[in-house]
A and B are shown apart, each in its own frame.
Chain A
């Protein structure tokens, strides 16, 4: 890990040593893992249970990477757990019965399940909710079927009963994990000899996985996953490839679960087809939810509590499964963040108190963002151009035959009566929807089939008609996410590096906020902002993507007169550095602000010209007033 090189001067952080925090975390966790089997003993847990819990916890952590971080409920993780177990078992039985090597078996299982997850994920990550859950279930059932029917390899329903005892090769040592620890009587905590080396091995593996997840959670990758879970549409339109992030999460998740399944099969020395079954998939859901999906230790806690109940309570009462179900429902209803939060709330987002400082807005137009050198008004190349562009919904043509051309540096207003197709037109340019006819050219290149995310990276940014924000994050975090996408690209799976170390991201976010005069509210939660600030934040987010064309859909709608005039001035400033397209109903503003105006009417272009030309155009007057005069004529 590199030391923190630079942090922005704008919000200095208290100095801290990241390394020592990591070491502290590791030490505390290790201590807990040492005490765990000892404390389990007096409440009735046998020594092997502790090992099983630790191994299965790794699978739950993997499952929870999807549910807790990416917001995807998989109902098919048994395919990775069981699949990993079978791969490890088959590798040992077929390839190395004489010299069973645990590393090779576990690594092979992890690689195979990662590839399986990559393949299944590629087909599933674009679906949501019940569709995602059912499709993952479907693939899991197919894997189950293959395991059950592939009798030559898997022994079908009988399972593989005698997996060779794999040794852990460390240098020239070959460690047998079934060796017990040295005998030592610990009174009520049992005898140390009850515990085998397997426990130590599982604890070390779990510790490594926890450290990995901790790093991932704080990394740029974790930050973007959070953002995508919270507001996918906004994430796509600040320039993140949401599907790629989901797929990466799915693959890591599958690999961790497969690794866990492999360890479990090796520990048990046998594996049965139930490990790939639907109940196994459901168990991960229960473990993770009971423990708490948005906490690092939640999956471990949930796995421990439920597996303890399954193994200890089942000897006491036949109602243990009912108790388990009631705990599950109780947690969802009363403790939606899970059992582990009884002790400590995750301080993910310490919401700043809503307090607007009296900081004065920056006066001088600072040298913002990428210089758009192409701004040559009247030059031969248009920056954006549409030819016969059309969009039909069924039989209704929202846009048809739109020929449109804007020069670099222009400030073009798009006006028209309600229902004229203005927002549809903007959505076509931004790539929110695909055209049904015609082409869109950006700097001379056809971008009609280019995804919205790619268009953001090419320099087309859009502020939404209704402010579209990460409402649970601060103003600064909103802008930082956009800056991060702009600087790091659509998909940068940095699972170890923290984005807080990127000074250029901070600087870009800072500039975007100050340009929109959001100084003083940087640490306010976006959802708590006033309406006007929300709309300006939306523009700031668009600005932080370093656009060359900015699409503003009714930027001042709903603002007070003062706010509107202020925002108008901000837009005028922005237009000095980039091309701006603006939809607006405020005619006073449109006439005063724009270089030129395009009038849309009934889905197509009625007129284009300077403000003066448009005001004088009789057809425009008719379009705006026509409805009225016809109605009046009817009387």
Chain B
């Protein structure tokens, strides 16, 4: 029973990481119609930058530096490489972003080596909290709380700001938003950088929990895409529901029958795609356009 509770908490932490990455994917898809296979790379860059800065200066500095570095990287990517591809077909975008992810992964391997790195927590964060019957590392709870706050901020951004309005409108009808003109270009760049920064921040914050190696980007990207598909591409709450579902599914399966912990999420996605291709909370319009 305690083990199950432990697994559920672990699933929550893992699921929240997926949610954060998936939300970034979804808002980027909404504004740019870009299916971004390089999104996992943002997570990985954030994790490495966070790690390096945290070791030199401190954890908080790492958490500030990571999203900024990733956002700058994303803006450069947006301007230099991606822009001509926004209007191309999704297959070309998939190929290009897949290539970018490869380049980032290999660059990280060259710079930091292939070994697994993990940021050691400072003393004051090492404690554990008593939660009912079990002891659970305090940092993980703190992390979960932080990600929830972050997601609330993103939700407010989408629901309450003009940029968020463009995101929501773009998910429904991108051409109409473009016809209305104005700042869609700048808005898309900002949204792209923001989606990237979220992944970078979560990557840095999670580095004391999940160790980092160059292939971490892909390792988190693929389940996050599964999350997006299960929840529904373009749906914020779909990403939240899908992320928690997949995180818990993976965590509980690990407890019950560990070898199946990877395949279970693909099985879950295949079932969703076959019976409800627009995802659990997705709108059927979106799938036809992508």
Contacts and interface: CB of A to CB of B under 8 A. Distances in A.
Given A319-B110, A326-B103, A332-B96, A134 B269 contact: yes
A432 to B, nearest CB: 13
B277 A325 contact: no
Contact of B99 (A138, A139, A148, A329): A329
17 contacts: A67-B91, A73-B94, A73-B95, A123-B270, A127-B277, A129-B90, A134-B226, A142-B266, A142-B270, A145-B259, A145-B262, A278-B218, A282-B98, A319-B106, A322-B103, A322-B110, A332-B96
Interface in B76-124: 81, 84, 89-92, 94-96, 98-100, 102-103, 105-107, 109-110
Contacts of B91: 67, 71, 73, 129
A128 B287 CA distance: 9
**10 tightest A-B contacts by CB?**
A129-B90, A325-B102, A138-B266, A322-B106, A145-B263, A329-B99, A325-B103, A328-B99, A321-B106, A141-B266
A505 B279 CA distance: 43
B94 A133 contact: yes
A137 B273 CA distance: 12
Given A318-B110, A322-B109, A329-B100, 13 more contacts: A71-B91, A123-B270, A128-B90, A134-B273, A135-B273, A145-B259, A322-B103, A325-B99, A325-B102, A328-B103, A329-B81, A333-B84, A333-B96
Q: Which one of A123, A130, A142, A324 has the greatest number of beta carbons of chain B within 10 Å?
A: A130
A328 B225 contact: no
A149 interface: yes
Nearest to B98: A285
Contacts of B92: 332, 336
Contacts of B267: 138, 142
B95 A139 contact: no
Interface string A305-349: 000000000000011011011101100110010000000000000
Chain B at the A interface: SS class: helix
Nearest to A319: B110
A212 interface: no
A118 interface: no
A322 B107 contact: yes
A329 B96 contact: yes
Nearest to A156: B259
Contacts of B225: 130, 134
Interface in A119-134: 123, 127-131, 133-134
Contacts of B94: 73, 129-130, 133
Contacts of A333: 81, 84, 96
Contacts of B13: none
B35 A130 contact: yes
Q: Which one of B92, B99, B218 has the greatest number of beta carbons of chain A within 10 Å?
A: B99
Contacts of A580: none
B220 to A, nearest CB: 14
Contact of B259 (A127, A130, A148): A148
A289 B269 CA distance: 27
B270 A131 contact: no
A325 B95 CA distance: 11
A39 B287 CA distance: 49
Contacts of A67: 91
Contacts of B266: 137-139, 141-142
Nearest to B270: A138
B155 to A, nearest CB: 24
Contacts of A135: 269-270, 273
B273 A332 contact: no
A116 to B, nearest CB: 15
Interface residues of B, number: 39
Nearest to B37: A130
B53 interface: no
Contacts of A319: 106, 110
A47 to B, nearest CB: 29
Interface string A57-95: 000000000010001010000000000000000000000
A130 B290 contact: yes
Interface string B244-285: 000000000000000110110011011001100100000000
A318 B111 CA distance: 11
A329 B259 CA distance: 35
B141 to A, nearest CB: 32
Contacts of B110: 318-319, 322
Contact of A141 (B81, B102, B262): B262
Nearest to A327: B99
Interface string B12-55: 00000000000000000000000100000000000000000000
Contacts of A328: 99, 102-103
B218 to A, nearest CB: 8
B53 to A, nearest CB: 24
Nearest to B287: A131
Contacts of B277: 127, 131
A336 B84 CA distance: 12
B229 interface: yes
Given A319-B106, A319-B110, A325-B103, A138 B269 contact: yes
Interface string B208-223: 0000000000100010
Contacts of A278: 218, 222
A130 B95 contact: no
A139 B274 CA distance: 12
B244 to A, nearest CB: 19
A271 to B, nearest CB: 20
A620 to B, nearest CB: 33
Q: Which one of A67, A123, A134, A137 has the greatest number of beta carbons of chain B within 10 Å?
A: A134
A131 B263 contact: no
Contacts of A286: 102
Nearest to A143: B263
Contacts of B102: 286, 321, 324-325, 328-329
Contact of A321 (B81, B95, B109, B263): B109
A329 B262 contact: no
B239 to A, nearest CB: 15
B103 A329 contact: yes
Nearest to B259: A149
